[in-house]
Amino acid sequence: MEFHTVPAKGWRIAMGRAAGVGPLLVYLHGLGCAGSQDWPPVAAAPALAGRASLWVDLPGFGRSDRPSGFSYDLADQADLLTELLAPGAGVVPAGTPIALIGHSMGGTLAVLVAERLIAARRPPVALVLAEAILNPGDAATSARVAAKSEARFVSAWPRWVQAFPSPFYREEMRLADPTAYYCTAVSLMRHSEQILERFLALPVPTKGFIAGGRSDPPIHRTARRLAAAGLPIATVPGSGHGFSEDDPAGLAAAIAGFVTAH
């Protein structure tokens, strides 16, 4: 693990790497999650062994700082990540091709980052979304959060964490800041509007969507919409939404199926 300090702000962003070949796989985690927890078991799976990758804990999540003056809006997160990945920032060597891998909220964020990289003439070579939130109907958890006031949600944070059945996810949420979680969830509801169409329109050489075979019906409806538009779809049969917990090797194989041409 390493920490990158955001210039002029002093915030520390936790990140980690796996050395290897090919484009740098940049992993963006979901709401309440942490790249430091989700990505290592995926990167270590046989299908991605030997491939270069970078995971990031977004501000307010995992082992990164929890800046009180940050909005936690996905647009601001995308701006921050675009700066982080820029040549000269000290994170990614100049000229390194990048493949964005986003899970859930991180998939929505990956679309925003890809738009910014394209505008900066540094387009990613691939954009792979694992059950990204591409319309408000896929964001059931965020909708429940957004229905509450921030004060009410934050005061009930311990009960919110304990209500989730997955021990893996509960441990990740214990590393998260409740204000960051709330503001990000509210932002996700707003940014998920029209994001599916923007994803399809992006001029990225390789794009794909990964669904868990055991995931809820709304995700499979989204996958069918994408497939009807000509987007390649991969399925991890034994997984639900929590790929890193359910089947990290299956997720790695699905990702590898999209990025091996690069």
Residue partners of 28: CB distance under 8 A and separation at least 6: 35, 56, 58, 81, 100, 101, 102, 103, 106, 107, 109, 110, 113
Per-10-residue mean pLDDT of the chain, 262 residues long, equals 90 95 96 96 95 97 96 97 93 94 98 98 98 94 96 98 96 97 97 96 98 95 97 97 97 96 72
Contact in structure between 30 and 104 (CB atoms under 8 Å): yes
State residue 9's pLDDT score.
87
Distance between CA atoms of residues 167 and 163, nearest Å: 10
Write down the CATH superfamily of domain 2-255: Alpha/Beta hydrolase fold, catalytic domain (3.40.50.1820)
